[in-house]
Structure 1
Amino acid sequence: MRLAVSTLGLPGEDLAAAIETAARFGCEGLELRLHPDTGVFAGLDAGERVAVREAIRGRGLEVAAVAGYIRIAEAGPDEVVIAGLRADLELAADLGASGVRVFPGGTDAEAAGRRILAVAGLCRERGVRVLVETHDALPTGAAVGRLLDVVDLGDVTGAIWDVVHPWRHGETPADTCAALNGHLSYVQIKDAVSSTDTTPRPLWAGSVPLDTCGELLRGFGGWVSLEWERTWYPDVEPVDQVLPGAREWVSRYAIKSA
């Protein structure tokens, strides 16, 4: 496992502050939320992209993923979704990211398949993936696993397991892990007050079964990102107080038992 932190956790989502925080707490990467307020979005020109990439690399970090807001399985015409996805994938490739986080946004697996097929060549050429998060209309591992089974483009797709959403919808971590078998590419860790109150809590201070998730993921070789949603919950603790717990979680479960 390699630890990243999402820029979602920084007050004002300042990129320079995010870089310094990630480096100071021993992270290997950053998960970059795509929004003009963060300074990272598809509208950056070539020079700006180089500047972002070099600022991150200069502190010994990588871009784990870019967190976009494309809704890959939503109803409606394909063209707008494909154009947005293509733009985000080009940005991810320019920044050296592993892929682009997308939301389901709906349940139309056939539409998702058409849209991903339309960018599959770009993904293969530039070495980036479409990463579908357990979120919104498809919050469980079972739902995202079924979508990716239908899409059937495993060389350019992957699943993001956000540990809160499947659990709060009644799916056990073991069932999530099993359902995402063959698809799991990325994990977002966090804790929350309860399954009905998703206010963030420092790791092990809430109700999410983090140790169960960790045991299931022991030896996982991909990125694990702390998604500390202070942008949406400004009164919670600063990310500096939460990152040590994330580092401890990754260290605890990074190595397979003998």
Structure 2
Amino acid sequence: MTHKLALSTLGLPRMPIPDVARLTAASGYQGVELRAHPEEPVHPGIGVHERAAARREFEAHGIEILTVAGYAKVTHPLAPHELPELVALAHDLGASHVRVFPGGDGTAEADERAVQQLTRAAQLAEDSDVRILLETHDSHRTGAAAGALLDRVNRKGIGALWDVMHTWLGGEAPAESYARLAPHLGYTQVKDIASAEDTTPLPLGTGVLPLTECVALLPPDGWLCWEYEKRWYPDATALPELLAAGREYLAGLTGA
């Protein structure tokens, strides 16, 4: 088997769901990571009809909704409804995952809060056939930091999302990151940047991130998701212009 390829909608201009589905399929990707924010067409506040319509649209184009990319920061005190609403949205859409961030301050108290909140959410996730993935990001950007927290949770419904930029920025070699995250790994986000000082998104393979090394470590039947963070860098090249070349680059790495 070969890796399956997904796109994050973070890099796309805001567009209706039918356009996202058509563009993803036409560009040769098999999945999509949906940014779940109130300014987007899919978020926890939409109703059952909108959820069903979005699911049908992607299914009609043969696109799997890989993830509901939420913005919950699990080291912060969360409202009781926050993670359940994201899990319910993922379940209704047929998505396999919910993305969350650490968002901590590095204290033992914050880590303990994250462990408790993820543990409480684990059973609901498992019952819903959804996995909540903690992204390597901000306070837990390395595999060592994220893996240590996830070891304490140790539940099937909770896992890791490997953002290769953040582990690299954290000073880890890919083999170190993968070894620490592998017991928990849901899937991997790829991207490219010019340098540690300039994280403006670049076309895949044109920057400094060790993408070849990272992908070579992964099991061949998992997902790779291209997260192109144009939303935060308005001067970056528009993602639709790069999709064909990005697909070709990833195919060269994976044989997809």
TM-score after normalising by structure 2: 0.92
Q: Match of 2:229? A: 229
User: What is the aligned-residue RMSD (CA, Å)?
Assistant: 1.7
1:13 and 1:37 in contact (8 A); partners too:
no
**Identity of paired residues, percent?**
42
CA deviation string 1:15-64 (max 9, x = no partner)? 33321210111111110001122210101111111011111111111101
1:22 to 13, 24, 36: 24
Q: Match of 1:47? A: 49
2:204 and 2:246 in contact (8 A); partners too:
yes
SS in 1 for 2:183: coil
Q: Displacement of 1:215 after TM fit? A: 1.5
1:13 and 1:235 map into 2 onto residues whose CA distance is 19
Q: Match of 1:216? A: 217
Q: Which amino acid aligns with 1:105?
A: G
1:62 and 1:132 map into 2 onto residues whose CA distance is 20
- Is 1:203 equivalent to 2:204 in the alignment? yes
Q: What pairs with 1:1-258 in structure 2 (closer than 5 Å)?
A: 1-74=3-76, 76=77, 78=78, 80=79, 82-106=80-104, 107=106, 108-153=110-155, 155-217=156-218, 219-254=219-254
CA deviation string 1:128-158 (max 9, x = no partner)? 01100000111111110001001121x1111
CA deviation string 1:177-201 (max 9, x = no partner)? 1111211111111000111210000
Q: Which amino acid aligns with 1:8?
A: L
1:39 and 1:176 map into 2 onto residues whose CA distance is 34
Unaligned runs of 5+ in 1: none
2:17 and 2:57 in contact (8 A); partners too:
no
1:132 and 1:159 in contact (8 A); partners too:
yes
2:12 and 2:240 in contact (8 A); partners too:
no
Q: Which amino acid aligns with 1:226?
A: W
SS in 1 for 2:188: strand
Unaligned runs of 5+ in 2: none
Q: Which amino acid aligns with 1:182?
A: P
Q: Displacement of 1:13 after TM fit? A: 4.8
Q: Which amino acid aligns with 2:100?
A: V
Higher alpha-carbon deviation: 6-15 or 123-132: 6-15
SS in 2 for 1:39: coil
1:161 and 1:188 in contact (8 A); partners too:
yes
Q: Which amino acid aligns with 2:229?
A: E
Aligned residues: 250
Q: Which amino acid aligns with 1:176?
A: S
CA deviation string 1:195-223 (max 9, x = no partner)? 12100000111111111112222x33222
Q: 1:246 to 1:157 in 2, by over 3 A?
A: farther
2:245 and 2:141 map into 1 onto residues whose CA distance is 25
CA deviation string 1:65-95 (max 9, x = no partner)? 0100001122x4x5x1x42011000000100
1:226 and 1:37 map into 2 onto residues whose CA distance is 21
1:6 and 1:36 map into 2 onto residues whose CA distance is 16
Q: 1:69 to 1:102 in 2, by over 3 A?
A: same
Q: 1:65 to 1:17 in 2, by over 3 A?
A: same
SS in 2 for 1:191: coil
Q: Displacement of 1:249 after TM fit? A: 4.1
TM-score after normalising by structure 1: 0.91
Higher alpha-carbon deviation: 61-70 or 118-127: 118-127
